[in-house]
């Protein structure tokens, strides 16, 4: 079981992210460091289960790191299940607390699935952003245990897997305060790599059988470094549309935003909670599958 990441200046989160996925059963991490200057590259180089590549080339010109990941996976991941995650994302699925990821992947193989679709849930704390400090290596869920329970909208889309989701706290705040749409919160983070499989980007892949069971990516953008990271990425301009999303975050901060909490905030409990909320989907087959 492999995971692939592209990182830049993620020393606050990266240890926690690796620890979470190690606990799921990820055996090795294929990581590209894109010019980190905060100790991220040095930390990763010291990890025995990390294969590290470093580049200072343009993130935007690489299709936001996707070309780097595809090339590495072609060389090292043929025939294997691969997680495509970012340093601020934790992948979960129904029953992950007791059923490791290799067990889930064996079930997917038996079901003939090759791709797992997932919703991305923006997580946040009940403290002001500047006070939401995270101890490196600690639990990101304990630092930011809240998410928006509604509304989420799923619409059909021409690119595979043919659907996209919007919603969550970024959609809520950007609509309320700036009158604009939030980013997509749907991704395809788990794929069995084989000839012809390609990530088009984090949201879309080439066509392959999609699992009935869906997952979630718990997304931890809203830590105490949020404002500084938004400033840095807006200035760098390497993200989609010349980092327009990061410029929107800066505009959001200028509206006097002090808390992300609202009457739609819910505290994260476990994967079963997300299934009950219809934010993840399980299946009878997966519920009956062996625990190991």
pLDDT digits (tens, 9 = 90+) for 92-133: 999 999 999 999 999 999 999 999 999 999 999 999 999 999
239 pLDDT band, cuts 50/70/90, is confident
**pLDDT per position as a tens digit, 223-234:** 999 989 988 888
Residue 25 lies in a domain: no
The number of domains in the chain is 1
| ∠ CA 55-63-178, rounded to 5° | 115
Residue 70 lies in a domain: no
The token pair at 273 is: 């909670």
- The whole-number pLDDT of residue 245 equals 87
Within 10 angstroms of residue 147's Cβ, the number of other Cβ atoms is 23
**pLDDT per position as a tens digit, 41-85:** 999 999 999 999 999 999 889 988 899 999 999 999 999 999 999
- The whole-number pLDDT of residue 160 equals 83
Scanning the chain, the segments in alpha helix (DSSP H) are 14-24, 40-45, 66-76, 101-111, 140-143, 169-173, 226-236, 240-253, 271-276, 284-288
Residue 45 lies in a domain: no
Residue 252 lies in a domain: yes
| Contacts of residue 213, Cβ cutoff 8 Å, sequence gap at least 6 | 93, 94, 104, 108, 113, 116, 280, 281, 282, 283, 286
Residue 228 lies in a domain: yes
**13-36: average pLDDT:** 98
- The whole-number pLDDT of residue 258 equals 82
The residue range of the domain holding 218 is 88-288
Residue 77 lies in a domain: no
C-alpha–C-alpha distance, residues 149 and 277, integer Å: 8
Query: Quick check: 238 pLDDT over 90?
Result: no
What average pLDDT is seen over the chain?
94
pTM (2 decimals)?
0.95
Q: What percent of the chain has a predicted confidence (pLDDT) above 90?
A: 76
| Contacts of residue 224, Cβ cutoff 8 Å, sequence gap at least 6 | 129, 130, 131, 132, 133, 134
**228-246: average pLDDT:** 86
Residue 223 lies in a domain: yes
């Amino acid at each position: 079981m492999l995971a692939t990441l592209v990182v830049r200046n993620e020393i606050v989160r990266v240890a926690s992210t690796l620890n979470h996925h190690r606990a799921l059963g990820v055996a090795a991490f294929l990581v590209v460091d894109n010019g980190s200057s905060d100790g991220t590259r040095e930390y990763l180089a010291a990890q025995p289960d990390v294969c590290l590549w470093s580049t200072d080339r343009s993130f935007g010109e690489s299709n936001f790191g996707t070309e780097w990941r595809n090339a590495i996976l072609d060389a090292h991941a043929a025939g294997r299940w691969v997680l495509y995650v970012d340093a601020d994302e934790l992948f979960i699925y129904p029953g992950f607390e007791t059923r490791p990821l290799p067990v889930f992947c064996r079930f997917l193989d038996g079901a003939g699935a090759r791709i797992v679709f997932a919703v991305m849930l923006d997580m946040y704390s009940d403290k002001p952003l500047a006070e939401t400090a995270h101890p490196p290596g600690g639990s990101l869920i304990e630092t930011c245990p809240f998410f928006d329970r509604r509304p989420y909208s799923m619409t059909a889309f021409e690119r595979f897997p043919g659907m996209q989701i919007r919603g969550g706290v970024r959609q809520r705040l950007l609509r309320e305060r700036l009158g604009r749409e939030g980013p997509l919160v749907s991704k395809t983070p788990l794929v069995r790599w084989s000839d012809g499989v390609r990530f088009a980007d984090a949201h879309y892949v080439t066509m392959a059988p999609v699992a009935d069971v869906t997952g979630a990516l718990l997304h931890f953008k809203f830590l105490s470094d949020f404002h500084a990271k938004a400033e840095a990425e807006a200035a760098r301009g390497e993200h989609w549309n010349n980092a327009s999303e990061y410029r929107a975050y800066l505009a959001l901060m200028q509206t006097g935003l002090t808390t992300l909490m609202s009457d739609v905030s819910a505290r994260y409990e476990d994967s079963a909670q997300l299934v009950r909320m219809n934010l993840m989907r399980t299946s009878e087959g997966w519920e009956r599958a062996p625990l190991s």
